[in-house]
Amino acid sequence: MEASNRYPVATPGSIRLSELSARVSRAIEEAFSYTSFWVIADVTNHTYKSQKDYHYFELVEKAEGTSVLLAKFSGSAWGTGSQKIAEFEKATGQRFTGGLNVLVKVTVKYQAAYGLQLTLQDIDINFTLGVLEQQRQATLLRLVRDNPEHIRIEDGRLKTSNQGLVLNRVIQRIAVISSSTSAGFQDFQHTLENNGWGYRFSVDPYFALIQGDHNAGQLVDKIVAVYQSGVAYDALVIIRGGGAQTDFLIFDHYAIARAIARFPIPVITGIGHQKNETLTDLAAHTATKTPTKAAEFIIAHNRGFEQELLQLQKNMVIKSQQLLSAENRKLSMIRTSLVNNTRSMITGHKDALVRNNQITINTTKSILYRHRTGLNNLYSKLSIQPKGMLYKHQAELSIICRNLKTFSNLYSKSQENKLSHYASLIKLMSPENILSKGFAIVKAKGKIRGNADGINLGEEITVILAKQQLVATVTSKENHDGTEFNI
């Protein structure tokens, strides 16, 4: 049995879809053949087939300030169009991708299998750069308008509160905001750790996605986290490796630039952007081109402080040497003056000593002569008087000797009587004699007691008699006036 056709024979008044497609194709070709149009549109849903060097995308137009779609066309580029896209990316530094507002030259094509399409023939580089710059300038004006206490324009340059901060003389404790997979962060750390002067740094990373305008909030959160950490950082460093121009659009975001401008810690940027400065760079305290340059800036800053110290040390050494030299000259002058003055004084005193010596000799001779005469007279007297005195004192000594013998015997007997009396008193007052008369010695706590102070009821006491000693316990304790003794 013969198979039936998939499509039956057309009925009167109807045509196949392929026939309608052919008519549309002929009509479009007649209307748009050899004609191109410069179109302003936004690029969406872009894909690139590198093997074939084909670009596929959509061109759309939305109502201004809304998401209402006014028009949408599928688009593609190959050959010349693909080459123009490559030139665009090289000139602008950004990829041809979704989110761009572009001015492109297109032709209209229709294919039965793919429908109506626009084929890209050329792209206006200046238009895209102008749009990005307009957006950047609008953000800049908003920053100045909404934050007058922290952001202003002076001499055509952006001035921020962060730029007014003074860097610490030594930067050592650093907070770094970067992507966790960024090679720039590794370059930054490597440069710090391998500096030629042996400086040591403490680096705390705060990782975030630093790409795409939609991640701006995450970057601001990390800036706030650094502030809320309570760590006394010397600087906050924001770094990113290289990339396409569109990768850096996040650094022109209003919230990020505002946060950096107001940040109370100096911010250093090194975001790998070799062309125009971003708003983040303009708001920061110090902007460098790459993460490595940021690290080199910090090292150079610390090196500058060290060189100041070394120069100060050098100046102190030079000044000290100058002072020592001046003081040595003064000491030399003083020494010379002292030597000369001393010699003059010695010479003057030597002459005076010679004169005084002669006067002393002459005066001494005169005094000795006078005293020699007196001594001769005294000698004569002494040679006569001692004999008489000796006879006189000899008689007196003889009398004293006789008296001493007489009185010494009397004194000895008197002293013997006194000693006998004292011996009787001592025997009378001896403990054995006193105890034999009925008295006793009381000891408490190992000590002889003359009264009851310090002896408490219930304590043991020792009573020593003439022949025995008793151990007793105190059961009562009363005061008396001594009238009760009956001896």
- pLDDT (tens digit, 9 = 90+) per residue, 246-267? 556 788 889 999 999 999 999 9
pLDDT, tens digit (0-9, with 9 covering 90-100), for 27-40: 888 878 778 899 98
Residue 398 burial by Cβ neighbours in a 10 Å radius (0-12, 13-18, 19+): exposed
Q: Which of 42-56, 346-360, 445-459 has the lowest mean pLDDT?
A: 445-459
- Provide φ and ψ at 285, rounded to 5°: -65, -45
Distance in angstroms (rounded) separating the CA atoms of residues 234 and 176: 11
Distance in angstroms (rounded) separating the CA atoms of residues 438 and 391: 69
**Structure token pair of residue 424:** 């009787």
Residue 5 pLDDT > 60, yes or no?
A: no
pLDDT of residue 418: 85
Three-class SS string for 223-241? HHHHHHCCCCCCEEEEECC
pLDDT of residue 401: 85
What letter would DSSP give residue 204? E
pLDDT confidence of 4, banded at 50, 70, 90? Answer: very low
pLDDT confidence of 212, banded at 50, 70, 90? Answer: low
DSSP H or E run through 388? helix 291-428
Q: Tell me the average pLDDT across 37-48.
A: 91
| Backbone region of residue 272 per phi and psi (left: phi > 0; alpha: psi in -120 to 50; beta: other values) | left
> How high does pLDDT run on average in the chain?
85
More confident residue, 111 or 174: 174
More confident residue, 439 or 48: 48
291 CB contacts (<8 Å, ≥6 apart)? 178, 182, 184, 185, 187, 188, 191, 239, 240, 241, 270, 272
**Does the model's pTM come out above 0.85?**
no
Residue 244 pLDDT > 60, yes or no?
A: no
Residue 239 pLDDT > 50, yes or no?
A: yes
pLDDT of residue 58: 93
- Which of 200, 228, 247 has its CA nearest to residue 100? 247
pLDDT confidence of 2, banded at 50, 70, 90? Answer: very low
pLDDT of residue 10: 58
Q: What residues pair up with 461 in beta bridges, in sequence order?
A: 472
pLDDT of residue 479: 78
Q: Tell me the average pLDDT across 147-173.
A: 92
Residue 407 pLDDT > 60, yes or no?
A: yes
Helix axis angle, 125-146 to 80-92, nearest 10°: 30
Matching CATH number, 134-304, of 3.40.50.11400, 2.30.38.10, 3.20.20.140, 3.90.550.10: 3.40.50.11400
Instruction: List, as one string, the DSSP characters of 422-438.
Output: HHHHHHHTSHHHHHHTT
pLDDT of residue 234: 96
The CATH architecture that domain 17-123 belongs to is Beta Barrel (2.40)
Q: What residues pair up with 116 in beta bridges, in sequence order?
A: 110
Q: What residues pair up with 54 in beta bridges, in sequence order?
A: 49
More confident residue, 14 or 54: 54
CATH 3.40.50.11400 in the chain, residue ranges: 134-304
- Which of 212, 296, 299 has its CA nearest to residue 256? 212
pLDDT confidence of 403, banded at 50, 70, 90? Answer: confident
pLDDT, tens digit (0-9, with 9 covering 90-100), for 268-309: 999 876 556 788 899 999 999 899 999 999 999 999 999 999
3-state secondary structure of 78: coil
Q: Which of 119-123, 160-164, 250-254 has the lowest mean pLDDT?
A: 250-254
pLDDT confidence of 443, banded at 50, 70, 90? Answer: confident
Distance in angstroms (rounded) separating the CA atoms of residues 276 and 273: 7
More confident residue, 189 or 90: 189
Distance in angstroms (rounded) separating the CA atoms of residues 351 and 342: 14
pLDDT, tens digit (0-9, with 9 covering 90-100), for 54-66: 999 999 998 877 7
CATH 2.40.50.140 in the chain, residue ranges: 17-123
Residue 398 pLDDT > 70, yes or no?
A: yes
pLDDT of residue 399: 86
Instruction: List, as one string, the DSSP characters of 270-319.
Output: E----SSPPHHHHHSSEEESSHHHHHHHHHHHHHHHHHHHHHHHHHHHHH
pLDDT confidence of 373, banded at 50, 70, 90? Answer: confident
Q: What angle do CA 124, 128, 130 make, to 5 degrees?
A: 110
**Structure token pair of residue 230:** 């309570």
Percent of the chain with pLDDT over 70: 92
- Say if strands 441-444 and 460-464 run parallel, antiparallel, or are unpaired: antiparallel
